[in-house]
Structure 1
């Protein structure tokens, strides 16, 4: 278990992290999600032992691993690390990368040669690289290089696997493939995984728990389903799922939009923080869109983007721009078309399904 308690990190006058509190259970897959500069990589570096916090402390398995006075170095922590850039040595074979980790990790330094060789073989089988054991990095594809990085990280059976945007250097197809690979490794090793990403699709698809960060602070910690259907703050609503935030008034169990008082929208589990600010989050796929004028909210198509099974529209509604997603099977609309919007799907939380793609 990892306990991060009121951790703050400052660089001079700049505060990268402020008052961060998180608990990560053994075997849990946690994604740290946020835009560039939000503090997610700083938090990962603190977990790895690359630097001390300015304030607060980090406990690993009941012992203090880091505080402003104490720092347990990376080699003495039971962790594995996967980097964005693969970080492979050009002169070492695939097998040598895995064996190197066994020579230097605190869990396996005393392992005999026979046991090391067996472990190297087992790990390469796990990630599907045994036939490539004697190849060098220059002879590998991007996906194969990332598998080597994963194999090296898990070789010594670490309790915690830290991943810093490991899929961002790969193309779309490889990213989808590697998601499955990482989930498979998680099931086989039962290590805690802390996965840093700016990609909402990756976080929702893979993690048990998602930590959303913004400007050095935690905005919300929740399961992917809760995060998507019940955002806690305006930032989470717009960053995860691209919600349209509609201003208005909450009256008992329904919402009346400020500019469209004839509308009545039910409570879909909207959090108190958004209610107190007079906001209602509408996800793009919740809108029903009809051509021409009708009973609803009038708008005009600004942009239309075909996405395979969906079409993504940007709709001008008075002085605002709303995002609307529809099935590609529906009649296509073009920029300039006048449309009517209404909430055309059930607002019951249990009937809503996340619709984010990576």
Structure 2
């Protein structure tokens, strides 16, 4: 299903939950809507589902207008499936009955599936690896199994659009990782258009074809996970997705001088004009390197956290605390003085000594 949102605004009283949202979704695409609580993610999903009508703007699905201020096509007249955060399973139905229900009642079930409802039920049970639990009741299932049933019920009728509202937030870390794989596998199998709401950046980066980053009801940036991570367009995107360090300084001829230090210059390609105008460089924790001595900025280790493959350091540089990832094992201790540099593969480090420039050229760019 192709979807087009044009100038979509939603107000509740005097509060604007969404402000002039423009976006498009291609058929078969997996889109993640990412943002903090209260940014308008769920409101946007409810508009797409048909539970709400926009205050301004309109929504088209497959070139047909389905929502506008003067009217909205209700959910039962849209070919959609939905997975809720709370599972929303019927307590009196078995697993296979949960899956069979939309095959009996969904308006848009293809005739080829209607003729073979039992076979389709078994296919979907196999798709989510629940064949041996077909006769179980919801109270006999684990959290991950309940989420599989909810997912199976949503895709059973082969909807053109699958809406998912933070479906993994109630699961523990291990189950979330497992269910990520399940959702990706099912998306590859069904090729259904998916719109997935989450506040978890790792879910969005790992699963989506494209990410819509939202803040305060407005779209901050739309792009592939790699683009969103490597080339953020605003401070919010840089700090919310991947927790970039926003290093102050000034730009001169495309070169950045961190903390206003003329003696140190960093070159980093593909920095958005937004940052250059504001005298800021976004630097990911893994783009820094720490040394005991060198041509960088002096800082002090404030905190150390062992993370397995990496050690996460908090470094106080001037009045700012920066996060730095360093390969394990860690070699710096709390209170130790260190030198912070931009990793050479990310930059050209230019040091001015005695009126002469010593330039180390970048070998690759992010």
TM over 0.5: yes
1:9 alignment counterpart? 10
Q: 1:104 Cα deviation (Å)?
A: 2.1
Q: In 2, Cα distance between the equivalents of 1:296 and 1:172?
A: 38
Q: CA 1:250–1:259 in 2, change beyond 3 Å: closer, same or farther? A: closer
2:85 alignment counterpart? 84
SS at match of 1:156: coil
Q: In 2, Cα distance between the equivalents of 1:153 and 1:236?
A: 31
2:285 alignment counterpart? 284
Q: In 1, Cα distance between the equivalents of 2:121 and 2:316?
A: 58
Deviates more, 1:50-59 or 1:295-304: 295-304
Root-mean-square deviation over aligned CA pairs: 1.8
1:296 alignment counterpart? 296
Aligned length: 351
SS at match of 1:158: coil
Which structure 2 residues correspond to residues 149-164 of structure 1 after superposition, within 5 A?
Answer: 149-164=150-165
SS at match of 2:264: coil
1:196 alignment counterpart? 197
Q: In 1, Cα distance between the equivalents of 2:115 and 2:77?
A: 24
Q: So what's the TM-score if we normalise by structure 1?
A: 0.94
Larger Rg: 2
Would you say the 8 A contact 1:103–1:109 is kept in 2? no
Gaps of 5+ in 1: 354-358
1:35 aligns with 2:32: no
2:230 alignment counterpart? 229
Q: In 1, Cα distance between the equivalents of 2:146 and 2:344?
A: 44
SS at match of 1:176: helix
Gaps of 5+ in 2: 348-361
Q: So what's the TM-score if we normalise by structure 2?
A: 0.92
Would you say the 8 A contact 1:102–1:109 is kept in 2? no
Q: 1:335 Cα deviation (Å)?
A: 2.3
Moved >4 Å (runs of 4+)? 109-114, 348-353
Q: 1:120 Cα deviation (Å)?
A: 0.6
Q: CA 1:134–1:111 in 2, change beyond 3 Å: closer, same or farther? A: farther
Q: In 2, Cα distance between the equivalents of 1:97 and 1:4?
A: 32
2:351 alignment counterpart? none
Q: 1:334 Cα deviation (Å)?
A: 2.8
Q: In 2, Cα distance between the equivalents of 1:262 and 1:188?
A: 55
1:271 aligns with 2:272: yes
